[in-house]
Structure 1
Amino acid sequence: MNPASNPATPTLDLRPLLLVNMACTMSMMAFVALIGPIARLLNMPTWQAGAAVTVAGVVWVLLARPWGRAADRLGRRRVLLLGCAGFTLAYWALCLFIDGALRWLPGATLAFVGLMLTRGLIGAFYAAIPVGGNALVADHVAPQQRARAMASLGAANAVGLVLGPAVAALLAHHSLSMPFYVMSLLPAAAFVVLLFTFKPQPLPHRHAPSPVRLGDPRLRRPLLVAFTAMLSVTVSQITVGFFALDRLQLASADAAQAAGIALTTVGVALILSQVVLRQLEWPPQKMIRVGASVSALGFAAGALAATAPALWACFFVAAAGMGFVFPAFSALAANAMEASEQGATAGSVSAAQGMGAVIGPLAGTLVYAVDPRLPFLAVAALLLVVGLWPSHADQHR
């Protein structure tokens, strides 16, 4: 039996999924962009601010596979609606807590507990969104077209990655609370659109869902690539600001600006590369090989950057390669599995990404302490090994 050999369903409308992905990513990134000044005002130590960011990733890892099993039992649309509604309510709670904390300035411990709880809830419901979206694509898009469809979802995330910090910084001139109030409207609007415009999509298979083990041999390569890709991105995100301070010898304000521009170029490169990808018919394995090699080149060159523009150019190249890798591992996993396993498979891939997002910041800062260039060089070497490692099974159908 050919895995996941479902006929293509041309009536599948991806636009509501694109909106949900963009809205939730924008909201998540707004918090990341503002946590520094908020933590300073609330007298929170740096590690507490970092923990408040990381907790969403930890919960994402823990709940991605349960959401995948739920998507198999309840259907993709219902899981997407539950995830978007829960994300909206959790974000409103975060918004109200931050506004109250900035008004009344509670102790650092109380602020830390409140941020951990609300961010944990956000991560719990956000985990359902990539799982439901990827499973839906695997259900209703032919294997040859899955990478292109998943690239569209990746481009929507990249738009949110770019716009979230930019809008948050613009609105923060009025107050640190205003960005959260504005951003809280986005997932609510996305939920309404999803509810009224996204028609129920019956599962193309009638048999009972099948469980999927994390150690399933068919998933080893896509899960390893998913973990490595997210690890690489988060390592670069956490170290770029320090690199601008220590290697480029920039003042604090200039280093912050250089890091912000570098991360903006990442979002732009992800958008452009995934738009280009939609015009290609490359199989997932080729996308991983080419994308990982290009990204490794960008990171390795970034370690040698001596000026801010050079660093921005290197980050652009690295992110352009990543734009090929991210949709490829999702398509590779979907193509390797049976139709009854797609929800659990999407949950496993999402969990691998989440694990990379959790380990990346810690590993990046530890390695950076040895040498500022080492995180970029280590990521480049890891991408080359994982991307070029020969596959024994032809999984790009």
Structure 2
Amino acid sequence: MTTPDSPSAPPADPAPPALAPLMLAAFTGTMGLMAFVSVAGPLTSLLGLEPWHMGVVMAIAGVAWMVMARVWGVQSDRQGRRPILLTGLAGFSLAYAALILFVEAALAWTLAPLLALLGLVVGRAAMGIFYAAVPTVAAAVVADRVAPAGRAKMMAAIGSASSAGLVAGPGLAGLLGDAGLLVPLYMTLAMPPIALAWLWWRLPPDAPAEHVAKPPPNLADARLHAAMGFGFAASFCVAIAQVIIGFFAMDRLGFDAEGAAGSAGTALAIVGASLFAAQTLVRKLDVAPATLVQLGGGLAAAGFALSAAAQSEAVLFFGYAIVAGGMGMIYPAIPAIAANAVEPHEQGAAAGAVGMAQGFGIVVGPLLGTAAYALAPSVPYLVAAAAMAGVVAGSIRAARRGQPD
């Protein structure tokens, strides 16, 4: 286990991180991303696009996140956390505004579908590129200023804010939908600049890491393999659950398309609430990150197995709630494990490597999940259950080897 005087420990008596503005940044980012997802269906029809076109638009943000997470992390090690975090949030705000204005123009001018698709892809990619800096650098800020034993709790605080955004984005879209299709987007657009101003005011200047002859840890660094593997598996499984539920509701539960959409929306709202509750609980517990991974992985595996067997909407919802509760334990533990495994000047690169692995899971999950679904509706859930069981086994094995937790 990492001790306070180990290489990954922060300097003695560091100033506590500006937690509230970090939480607001995470909340506003996920709220904006999910608010757009909530209006994607109607936009697909109004812009003359095919459903798979919008699938590409949704996926491109994950690809951009995967590509840029480590880049932002390494740059924050070299240039300091504050400038990179402010740049990321400012860029996200501008990219989101540009995307909304493009949608307004595309609807007003009846753009050709190909041009509309191109604009949406560019806009969502820009949002993913810049938002990748926010969770990555926020994790590095926590690692800089919190002792190893307390990192999972602080990561859980930021994670709970992000989970709240997952619920608030679709919820706001539902409440304001009658006022106009783009009204929820304009409302959520107002939030990131507020978070940016608060971070600019509260986040203290920081010095870049001292120059070290060694290059930053790369993806082959054995110290990060456990955290990256857990991060990939968690995102992979969550992505499967998100993309499969609508099909499952139609084919297994017998809903029509409209009913399946409503069922999927309810399930995802339950997921957000369960994630928030679990991460709030983690903040109050004194549990090692490795233990959180093992407990959360076991819960998630059970939830996926229950979902695979579901014959009713209630059982499916219960399964998703259990999955989300487990993921709420795993998510804050993963960056804490990575942070505890590396030295202070490597924190940004480590957080970025984990972010890249998570982004890769978001991209691969829907592809393999839909392929597995072609075999039988329950197969994707069983694949996810097996992956979570693998996470538990991997965490136990790493603990026996004495890797930092």
- TM-score of the superposed pair, with normalisation by structure 1: 0.97
Answer whether contact 2:16 2:145 (CA < 8 A) is retained. Answer: no
Matched ranges for 1:73-152 at <5 A:
73-152=78-157
- Report the Cα distance in structure 1 between the residues aligned to 2:60 and 2:237, rounded to whole angstroms: 19
Matched ranges for 1:332-371 at <5 A:
332-371=337-376
Task: Find the residue that maps to 1:281 and give its secondary structure.
Answer: coil
Residue 371 of structure 1 aligns to a residue whose secondary structure is: coil
Unaligned runs of 5+ in 2: none
Deviation, 1:207, is 4.5
Mapped to 1, the partners of 2:211 and 2:122 lie a distance apart of 38
Cα shift at 1:8: 5.3
Q: What residue in structure 1 maps to residue 257 of structure 2? A: 252
Map of 1:265-304 to 2, 5 A cutoff? 265-304=270-309
Q: Is the 8 A contact 2:68 2:132 kept in 1?
A: yes
| Letter matched to residue 98 of structure 2 | A
Q: Which runs of 4+ in 1 moved over 6 A?
A: none
Question: Residue 321 and residue 8 in structure 1: after superposition, are their counterparts in 2 closer, same or farther (change >3 A)?
Answer: farther
SS at match of 1:200: coil
Residue of 381, 393, 397 corresponding to 2:401: 393
Deviations along 1:321-343, one digit per CA (max 9) or x if unpaired, are 00010111110111011111111
Tell me if the contact between 1:210 and 1:340 (Cα under 8 Å) persists in the aligned partners: no
Q: Within 1, Cα distance between the matches of 2:50 and 2:204? A: 47
In structure 2, C-alpha distance between the alignment counterparts of 1:83 and 1:384, rounded to whole Å? 35
AA in 2 matched with 1:395: Q
Q: Is the 8 A contact 1:24 1:126 kept in 2?
A: yes
Counterpart CA distance in 1 for 2:284 and 2:14 is 19
**Distance (Å, rounded) in 2 between the aligned partners of 1:163 and 1:11:** 28
CA distance in 2, matches of 1:372, 1:344: 39
Q: Which of 304, 310, 318 in structure 1 is aligned with 2:323? A: 318
1:8/1:45 CA distance change after superposition, 3 Å: farther
Amino acid at match of 1:237: Q
3-state SS, counterpart of residue 269 of structure 2: helix
Name the residue aligned to 1:165. Answer: 170
**1:170-193 C-alpha deviation (Å, 9 max, x unpaired):** 222222121221111111111111
2:9 pairs with 1:5: yes
Aligned length: 396
Matching residue's letter, 2:59: T
- Whole-angstrom CA distance in 2 between matches of 1:152 and 1:50: 31
Q: Give the SS at the match of 1:278.
A: helix
Task: Say which SS state the counterpart of residue 372 (structure 1) adopts.
Answer: coil
Contact 2:160 2:276 in 1 (8 A): yes
1:217 corresponds in structure 2 to: 222
- Cα distance in 2 for partners of 1:90, 1:283 equals 38
Query: How big is the shift at 1:228?
Result: 0.3
> 1:100-158: CA deviations, max 9, x gaps?
11222211101000001111111110111111100111111000000000000110100
Query: Matches of 1:211 and 1:393 in 2, distance apart?
Result: 24
Contact 1:17–1:153 under 8 Å retained in 2: yes
Does 1:181 pair with 2:186? Answer: yes
Distance 2:106 2:177 in 1: 16
2: distance between equivalents of 1:379 and 1:125?
Answer: 29
**Cα 1:328–1:233 shift into 2, 3 Å:** same
1:60 is matched with 65
Q: How big is the shift at 1:362?
A: 1.3
Instruction: For 1:309 and 1:19, locate their aligned partners in 2 and report how far apart those are by CA, in whole Å.
Output: 33
Contact 1:225/1:387 (<8 A) preserved = no
The one-letter code sitting in structure 2 at the alignment partner of 1:97 is F
Structure 2 counterpart SS, 1:173: helix
Measure how far apart 1:3 and its partner are: 3.0
Rounded Cα–Cα distance in structure 1 between residues aligned with 2:172 and 2:119: 24
Distance in 2 (alpha carbons) for counterparts of 1:111 and 1:206: 46
**What amino acid is the match of 1:394?**
G
**Which secondary structure state, in structure 1, belongs to the residue aligned with residue 178 of structure 2?**
coil
Q: Cα deviation per residue 1:217-252 (whole Å; 9 max; x = unaligned)?
A: 111111000000001111100011111111000122
The letter for the 2-side match of 1:193 is W
Amino acid of the structure 1 residue aligned with 2:160: A
Work out which of the residue numbers 37, 40, 44 in structure 1 matches 2:45. Answer: 40
List alignment gaps of at least 5 residues for structure 1.
Answer: none
- Cα-Cα RMSD: 1.4
**Distance in 1 (alpha carbons) for counterparts of 2:248 and 2:109:** 36
CA shift, 1:201, in A, is: 3.7
Residues 90, 380 of structure 1: alpha-carbon distance in 2 compared, 3 angstrom cutoff:
same
Identity %: 41
